[in-house]
């Protein structure tokens, strides 16, 4: 690949989140992405303003958010149902290079060897299995010591090829995210039956919640959590809802505690920004976010991401930064 960019710092890793956002907006890979997909004079003006840090952060974020509408091929659907964007080979190459520079292709380092809480974030069925496996590997290999382990999922029915992927992983009975997170966690950490279960059922789309409490052979507490939505009548819980439920109901976070979030590399920038907003700033904790390693689950091939998928997650990152800027601006 001929196109390369210098690594852009992950927003929220510095001492000044507002300054991090400013730097991210003005970074070379973000500017290059806007230029590569500009179709009007107004688009090119946005690219120049981003590079020159012209206009306040909220205004630039809003303009960039509107620009990324052209990359939204999900249109309310799950990620594995999104259409592919038509792109030239040079655009595809540039997108991949930008994604690598923006921290979407792995390489995030662990700052500590002990964390008070290790969190595994849910998603499509592949994520529920590989993230739990990678978290268990980090702990089992001695790279990380954990005070507790929590899997954060939700009651989302499978769609598309998730049923096939679950069957390939040896769990054809799985049909929803929360059960997949529970299966993945039990398998990865060698768990038996839960010590206790709590929760509530609801007819609302996002009202049902649950927590299954386990303990590993060495006594480490493990929780599998399905959080309720902050808007239960409208939608299921999203990542910020899961963070808030974990912080207040599951962990009772205290200032100075260290959290390690395990996700898939492509989602690190967006989910880390949400963690900074929902966990680091209000509770005074330290947060690191890392992506899982390919090939973590036997029988499940490493996931390959297209340029369209990277653009979708650049858009997700922008939207996550919009919400973070509202807090720190």
User: Could you please report the per-residue DSSP string of 229-260?
Assistant: PSSTTT----HHHHHHHIIIIII---TT-EEE
- Residue-wise pLDDT tens digits, 181-190: 999 999 999 9
Q: What is the pLDDT of residues 139-179, one digit of tens each?
A: 999 999 999 999 998 888 898 888 988 888 888 999 999 99
Whether 226 shows a pLDDT value over 80: the answer reads: yes
Q: What are phi and psi of 309, to 5 degrees?
A: -65, -40
Q: Domain segments of the chain: what residues?
A: 114-295
The mean pLDDT of 21-25, rounded to a whole number, is 95
E strand or H helix at 128: helix 125-140
Predicted confidence band of residue 237 (pLDDT cuts 50, 70, 90): confident
Q: What is the pLDDT of residue 156?
A: 85
The pLDDT of residue 313 is above 60: yes
End-to-end Cα spacing for the chain: 37
Asked if 168 contacts 153 with a C-beta cutoff of 8 angstroms, the reply is: no
Question: What DSSP string runs through 150-166?
Answer: EEEE---B--TTHHHHH
Cα(83)–Cα(75) distance, integer angstroms = 9
Convert the pLDDT of each residue in 102-137 to its tens digit: 999 987 789 999 999 999 988 888 889 999 999 999
DSSP 8-state symbol, 298: T
8, 31 Cβ separation under 8 angstroms = no
**pLDDT computed for residue 298 by the predictor:** 52
Neighbouring CB atoms inside 10 A of 5's CB total: 18
Cα separation of 178 and 271, whole Å?
19
**What radius of gyration, in Å, describes the C-alpha atoms of the chain?**
20
Tell me the three state secondary structure of residue 77.
coil
Lowest mean pLDDT among 43-47, 76-80, 211-215: 76-80
What's the pTM value of the predicted model, to 2 decimals? 0.90
């Amino acid at each position: 690949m001929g196109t390369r960019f210098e690594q852009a710092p992950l927003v929220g890793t510095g001492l000044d989140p507002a300054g991090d956002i400013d730097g991210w907006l003005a970074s070379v890979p973000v500017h290059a992405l806007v230029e590569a997909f500009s179709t009007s004079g107004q688009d090119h003006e946005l690219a120049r303003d981003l590079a020159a840090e012209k206009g306040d952060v909220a205004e630039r974020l809003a303009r960039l958010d509107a620009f990324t509408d052209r990359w939204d091929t999900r249109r309310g659907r799950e990620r594995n149902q999104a259409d592919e964007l038509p792109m030239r080979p040079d655009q595809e190459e540039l997108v991949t290079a930008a994604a690598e520079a923006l921290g979407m292709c792995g390489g995030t380092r662990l700052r500590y060897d002990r964390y008070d809480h290790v969190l595994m974030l849910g998603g499509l069925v592949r994520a529920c299995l590989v993230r739990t496996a990678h978290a268990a590997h980090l702990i089992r290999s001695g790279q990380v010591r954990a005070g507790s382990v929590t899997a954060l999922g939700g009651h989302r029915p499978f769609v598309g090829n998730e049923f096939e992927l679950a069957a390939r992983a040896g769990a054809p009975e799985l049909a929803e995210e929360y059960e997949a997170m529970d299966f993945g966690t039990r398998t990865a950490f060698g768990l038996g039956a839960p010590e206790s279960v709590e929760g509530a059922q609801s007819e609302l789309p996002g009202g049902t919640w649950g927590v299954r409490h386990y303990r590993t052979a060495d006594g480490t507490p493990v929780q599998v959590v399905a959080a309720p939505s902050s808007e239960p009548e409208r939608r299921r819980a999203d990542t910020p809802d899961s963070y808030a439920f974990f912080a207040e109901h599951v962990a009772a976070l205290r200032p100075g505690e260290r959290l390690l979030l395990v996700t898939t590399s492509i989602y690190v920038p967006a989910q880390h920004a949400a963690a900074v907003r929902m966990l680091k700033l209000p509770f005074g904790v330290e947060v690191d976010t890392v992506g899982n390693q390919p090939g973590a689950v036997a029988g499940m091939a490493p996931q390959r991401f297209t340029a369209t998928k990277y653009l979708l997650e650049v858009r997700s990152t922008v939207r996550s930064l919009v919400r973070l800027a509202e807090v720190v601006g």
